[in-house]
Structure 1
Amino acid sequence: MSSTSNNLPALPQADISIRTSIAWHPDPPSEPTSTLVLTSPGKHFVDIRLLLPIDPSGILTPDRLDWAFAGTSTTNPLPVSLPILTPQPQPQPDTTPRLVASKWSHWVDTRHPDAEIVVDTAQMRIYPDGRSVEVGSMVNPATGVLTPYEEIWQEGEVDPDEGGMVLQTDDQQGGRRRRGMVVRVGRHIQGILRVGEGVGVQRWERSGEHEDGGWEVVAGTGAAAEEEVGDLVGAMEFVARGGGEKVHAGEMILGPERAWRVVEVWGRGG
C-alpha cells in the first residue's frame, strides 16, 4: 500500500508566540510587556513576560518581571464562534480562523509556589496569517478581580533547519522543592527554575549566523537569585550548545547530581 505526503497526518511542530496586546474589559488594548512563549513539539512550554523597557544590560530585577511560568499545553477544536471584546476585520473566505479551546497546565510559576493550582484556559481564534485572538477570564493583577480579557498573539518564525530541546528538573534541595524547565526553539531559549521561594528566569537569543556562537542574554536574574538557582544558567548553556551530538530524550545530565532530564530533543538538538 502506497501513500503520499498529502495523506500523512501533520507532525507536531515547535512554536514561537509573541503577544502584541492585552485588553482587560472594558479597557482598550495595550502591551506593557515583552511576552514570548516557546512551545516544543510535545507541547512543553516556557512563557516569560518582561515589563518594558527591558534593561539593555540584560539584568532582570524582580520589579521588571511581570510573570513567568512553564508546563504543558493542550488544544481541542471548537465548533462555535467566540466573543470578541475589540473590533476585528471581517474574515474573507481564505482567512477563516480555526476555533480551539486551549489549556495551559502550569508546572512551575513565579507567582504561585503551588503551580498546579492555577486554572489557565481560554478560547482562541487562529488565523492563517499567524495571528491569534485569545479570550478568557483571569485575575487582573492591577485590581485583584476576575476579569474578561483578550490577548492578540503573532506567530514567530521557526526555522525548519533549526532544532530544539526541553530540559526539566524536579527534586528536593535543602528540604525545599526544586522545579525547573528550559525550552529551546531554534534561536530562542527560555528557562525558569524555582527553589522554594527563590526564582531564576532567563531569556536568551542567538543573533549570529554560526551554530556555536552569537548567544545574547536578553534578560536574566541577578547574582542574588542565582545563589539558589544558579544551575539554571548551566542548563541554558547546555541547550545553547545543542547538548552534544548524542544526547537523547530520557538522559539525566549536568553535574554530579545529574539533576536535569532531557525531555525532548528534535532536529539538530538545537
Structure 2
Amino acid sequence: MSIPPLKTSTAFLSTRISIAWLPDPPSEPTDTLVLTGTTYYVDLRILKEDGSLDWGMAGVKEMIGGTKEKPVARFTNILDSHLPSSSSSNSTAKSDPSSATSPPLPDEGSFSQLPSGNTLEAGTMVNPATSLPQLYEEEWAPVPVERGATVLILQSISSRAFVGVCGEWALGVYETKDGGYGGWKGKKEGASWTLVWNLGEERVGWVGEEGESWATSWREGDEVEWAGRSWKVLEHSLMGEGRPK
C-alpha cells in the first residue's frame, strides 16, 4: 500500500513581543516560541533574566467564533508546567483527596492583525501571579519558516510529553521522573540539530537523538517508536503560507 502524500499545513511559528495584564502596561520578560498547528500547539516560554522555565505547555486549539477579520480561539492545555505534574499530584491526591488539582481554565482570545503585520491577541486567561482570570493583550510576531518545511507534533504514549517541529526549529515539553517539568529548544544547523536551551537531564524527545525518522513514512494517527519512547503522531504536514494565530 502506498503512503499518502503529506497535506499542506495551516500551522505557523510565532514569538511573543509583549504581554499586558490589563490595566498594567505591556512588557516581555520571556523568550517565547510557539508552534500552533491545525489542532494542537506546543508553547515554550523561557525567562530572559535567568534562563529558567517560565511556562511550558501543549494542548488543543479550537476556533470558537468571531469573524474572519477577528477570529476567536480557545486553547486548552493538556500539559501545563504551572500545575503539579501527574506524578506529584497523584501521590498527593492519594493521601489527601481534597488536594486534587482542578483542570486549568482554557485560554480564550480574539486575534486581529496590526499595521506592523504582527498579531494582537486579546482575551482572558489565568494570571500565574494571582491564579485568577484576568484580561490580557499579547502581541505576536511570525517566525519565518520556509514553505514546504516539515511541521510535526507528537504526543508521548508512554509518558507525558509533547514535541513540536517546524522547519529549522523544534521544542519539547515534558514531565520529569521526579515530579517536575523539563523542556528543550533546538535549531537545525546544516544537517544536524543544535540544543539552544535545555532544562532537565532527561531531554525527552530531543530531535538530535535519533535523527529525522519522521521524514518519509510517518502520518497523522500513527503510533511510532522514536527517541526511546512510544509516540502518537498528532500532526504531520508541510508548511503552507503560515498565518498569524
Do structure 1's residue 263 and structure 2's residue 234 form an aligned pair? yes
Provide the C-alpha distance between the structure 2 equivalents of 1:128 and 1:26, rounded to a whole number of angstroms: 23
Listed as ranges, the gaps of 5+ residues in structure 1 are 1-9, 56-63, 80-96, 172-177
Q: Within 5 A, what are the aligned runs for 1:95-106?
A: 98-106=69-77
Cross-structure match for 2:30? 33
Do structure 1's residue 47 and structure 2's residue 43 form an aligned pair? yes
TM-score w.r.t. length of structure 1: 0.69
Cross-structure match for 2:171? 190
Provide the C-alpha distance between the structure 2 equivalents of 1:216 and 1:115, rounded to a whole number of angstroms: 37
Q: Which moved more, 1:152-161 or 1:162-171?
A: 162-171
Cross-structure match for 2:243? none
Q: Within 5 A, what are the aligned runs for 1:191-206?
A: 191-195=172-176, 197-206=179-188
Do structure 1's residue 24 and structure 2's residue 24 form an aligned pair? no
Displacement of 1:53 in angstroms is 4.0
Provide the C-alpha distance between the structure 1 equivalents of 2:232 and 2:227, rounded to a whole number of angstroms: 12
SS where residue 205 of structure 2 aligns? helix
* Matched residue type, 2:182: G
CA 1:159–1:13: 2 relative to 1, 3 Å: same
SS where residue 117 of structure 1 aligns? coil
Greater RCO between the two (CA within 8 Å, min separation 6)?
2
Number of corresponding residues: 215
CA 1:162–1:180: 2 relative to 1, 3 Å: same
Provide the C-alpha distance between the structure 2 equivalents of 1:46 and 1:189, rounded to a whole number of angstroms: 10
Do structure 1's residue 161 and structure 2's residue 148 form an aligned pair? yes
Do structure 1's residue 138 and structure 2's residue 109 form an aligned pair? no
CA 1:133–1:115: 2 relative to 1, 3 Å: farther
Provide the C-alpha distance between the structure 2 equivalents of 1:77 and 1:255, rounded to a whole number of angstroms: 39
TM-score w.r.t. length of structure 2: 0.76
Q: Is the 8 A contact 2:82 2:128 kept in 1?
A: no
**Higher-strand-fraction structure:** 2
Provide the C-alpha distance between the structure 2 equivalents of 1:145 and 1:50, rounded to a whole number of angstroms: 22
CA 1:76–1:238: 2 relative to 1, 3 Å: farther
RMSD of Structure 2 on Structure 1 (CA): 2.8
Do structure 1's residue 125 and structure 2's residue 103 form an aligned pair? no
Cross-structure match for 1:254? 226
* Matched residue type, 1:198: G
Identity of aligned residues (%): 29
Provide the C-alpha distance between the structure 2 equivalents of 1:146 and 1:248, rounded to a whole number of angstroms: 38
Q: Is the 8 A contact 1:43 1:74 kept in 2?
A: yes
